[in-house]
C-alpha cells in the first residue's frame, strides 16, 4: 500500500480516519495494520494489499485456503497473532472461494488483449485528466493501470485477493488497490472525478450500486458496461436491470448519458478460459456525466 492512500481511506463501519501501524516497509507498506480507534476495527495489510472488510473473520471463512497462505506469508508477530485470532473465529465454509478466485484472476490476466479493453481505452482517452479515479471490480488491474498513466491518483477495489495480487505486480506511484466489498464506504465522503464499473452488475444489487456510486460523483464521469448475465443461481441479484432500465436509473440519479452511448451497444468481450475454450459476451457500454450546473453532453 502506498502511504498517500491513508489520506483517503476510512473505516468501512463508522467512516472514521484510520491509523497506520507499519510492520514492514519497502517502496510501499508491505505489512501492517490499519486501525479505527473509534470502533476498534483492524484491517490487515498483507503483501502490500489492505483488506478493508467489515468482518475479516467472515472474509477468510469463505477463503480458508487463502487464510492459511496469508498466515504463512506474514512475518511480524502482531500480524501472525491477528491472523491466528481471525482464523480461529472463522466458520469454515464448504464453498471455499480461493481456487475459484485464483482461476478467474488468471482468466482475466490471459484475456487482457481482448478487443473489448482496447475499445474502452479509446473511450477513456477522450476523458480529461482527473485528480481522483476509482474502479469498481478492478480485478487484475488492466484498466486501472492504464488510467494511472494519464490521471493523478487511481484506486481499484475488488473482493478477490488473488486478482489484486496480480494487479499489484504492475507498480505505479499513483496507483493503489484494495480488497473490499463493492458496497463498502472505503473512501468515506470522498468525491471522484471518474469512476469505472465494468461488468460487475451481477455481483451486487445493480440499483444499490448505482446509487452508491452516484453519491461519490458530484461532478464527473461514470463509465460502466455489462453483458446483463444475471443468472448466478442462489447468488443471483433480486432486481435485474436491462439496457433501458439501466439508462433510466442513471438519469434519475442526475446523470446525462452521452449521445454516443444512448443506444445499447454489443461490444465483444472474449475471455480465454483455457487454451481450447473461450467465453464470449456481448457487452453494453454507457458513459454518463454529472455536473453541478446544467451542461450539454455530447
Percentage of residues in the chain having pLDDT higher than 90? 91
**Segment among 7-21, 92-106, 124-138, 166-180 with least mean pLDDT:** 92-106
Task: Kindly list the structural domains of the chain, giving each domain's residue range(s) and its CATH number in brackets, ordered by start.
Answer: 3-96 (no CATH), 102-290 (3.40.50.150)
Q: Please give the backbone phi and psi of residue 134, each rounded to the nearest 5 degrees, phi first.
A: -135, 135
For residue 196, what is its C-alpha cell? 469505472
Q: According to the model, what pLDDT value does residue 298 have?
A: 40
**Average pLDDT of the segment spanning 28-48:** 96
Mean pLDDT value across residues 159-183: 96
Q: What is the pLDDT of residues 240-286, one digit of tens each?
A: 999 999 999 999 999 999 999 999 999 999 999 999 999 999 999 99
Q: State mean pLDDT over 73-102.
A: 92
Q: Which residues of 178-207 are buried (b: 16+ CB within 10 A; e: fewer)?
A: bbbbbebbbbeeeebbbbbbbbbbbbbbbb
| 3-class secondary structure, 287 | strand
Between CA 157 and CA 180 the distance in angstroms is: 6
pLDDT of residue 296: 39
CA dist., res. 276 & res. 155, Å (int): 34
pLDDT recorded at residue 93: 72
Q: Counting runs of H as helices and runs of E as strands, what totals does the chain give?
A: 9, 12
Residue 292 has a pLDDT of 64
Residue 274 backbone dihedrals phi, psi, to 5 degrees: -165, 175
Mean of the pLDDT values across residues 139-144? Answer: 96
CB neighbours of residue 52 within 10 Å: 26
Distance CA 285, CA 298 (A): 15
Query: For residue range 125-135, what is the model confidence (pLDDT) as tens digits?
Result: 999 999 999 99
Q: Is the pLDDT of residue 294 over 60?
A: no
Region 283-291 average pLDDT: 96
**What's the rounded Cα separation, in Å, for the pair 14 and 36?**
9
Which helix (H) or strand (E) segment holds residue 45: the answer is strand 42-46
For the beta carbon of residue 51, count every other beta carbon within 10 angstroms: 19
pLDDT tens digits along 176-227:
999 999 999 999 999 999 999 999 999 999 999 999 999 999 999 999 999 9
Characterize the bridge pairing of strands 175-179 and 153-158. Answer: parallel
Rg (CA), the chain: 19
Strand partners, 29: 25
Q: Looking at the predicted structure, is the pLDDT value of residue 45 above 70?
A: yes
Report pTM: 0.94
* pLDDT, averaged across the chain: 94
Task: Let me know: does 107 contact 162? Beta carbons within 8 Å.
Answer: no
Amino acid at each position: 500500500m502506498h502511504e498517500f492512500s491513508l489520506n483517503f481511506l476510512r473505516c468501512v463501519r463508522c467512516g472514521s480516519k484510520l491509523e497506520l501501524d507499519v510492520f514492514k516497509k519497502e517502496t510501499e507498506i508491505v505489512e501492517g495494520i490499519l486501525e479505527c480507534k473509534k470502533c476498534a476495527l483492524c484491517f490487515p495489510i498483507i503483501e502490500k494489499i489492505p483488506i478493508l472488510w467489515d468482518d475479516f473473520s467472515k472474509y477468510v471463512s469463505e477463503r480458508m485456503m487463502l487464510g492459511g497462505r496469508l498466515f504463512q506469508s506474514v512475518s511480524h508477530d502482531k500480524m501472525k497473532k491477528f491472523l491466528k485470532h481471525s482464523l480461529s473465529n472463522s466458520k469454515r465454509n464448504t464453498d471455499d472461494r480461493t481456487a475459484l478466485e485464483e482461476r478467474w484472476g488468471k482468466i482475466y490476466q490471459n484475456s487482457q488483449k481482448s478487443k473489448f479493453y482496447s475499445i474502452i481505452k479509446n473511450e477513456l482517452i477522450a476523458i480529461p485528466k482527473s485528480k481522483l479515479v476509482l474502479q469498481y471490480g478492478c480485478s487484475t488491474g488492466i484498466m486501472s493501470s492504464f488510467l494511472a498513466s494519464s490521471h493523478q491518483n487511481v484506486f481499484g477495489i475488488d473482493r478477490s485477493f488473488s486478482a489484486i495480487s496480480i494487479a499489484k505486480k504492475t507498480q505505479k506511484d499513483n496507483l493503489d488497490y484494495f480488497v473490499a466489498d463493492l458496497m463498502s464506504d472505503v473512501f468515506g465522503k470522498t468525491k471522484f472525478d471518474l469512476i469505472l464499473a465494468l461488468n460487475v452488475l451481477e455481483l451486487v444489487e445493480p440499483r444499490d450500486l448505482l446509487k452508491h456510486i452516484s453519491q461519490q460523483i458530484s461532478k464527473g464521469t461514470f463509465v460502466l458496461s455489462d453483458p446483463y448475465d444475471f443468472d448466478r443461481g442462489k447468488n443471483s441479484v433480486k432486481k435485474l436491470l436491462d439496457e433501458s432500465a439501466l439508462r433510466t436509473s442513471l438519469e434519475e440519479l442526475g446523470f446525462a448519458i452521452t449521445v454516443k452511448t444512448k443506444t445499447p451497444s454489443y461490444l465483444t468481450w472474449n475471455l480465454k478460459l483455457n487454451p481450447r475454450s473461450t467465453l464470449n459476451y456481448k457487452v453494453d457500454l454507457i458513459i454518463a456525466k454529472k455536473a453541478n450546473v446544467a451542461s450539454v453532453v455530447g
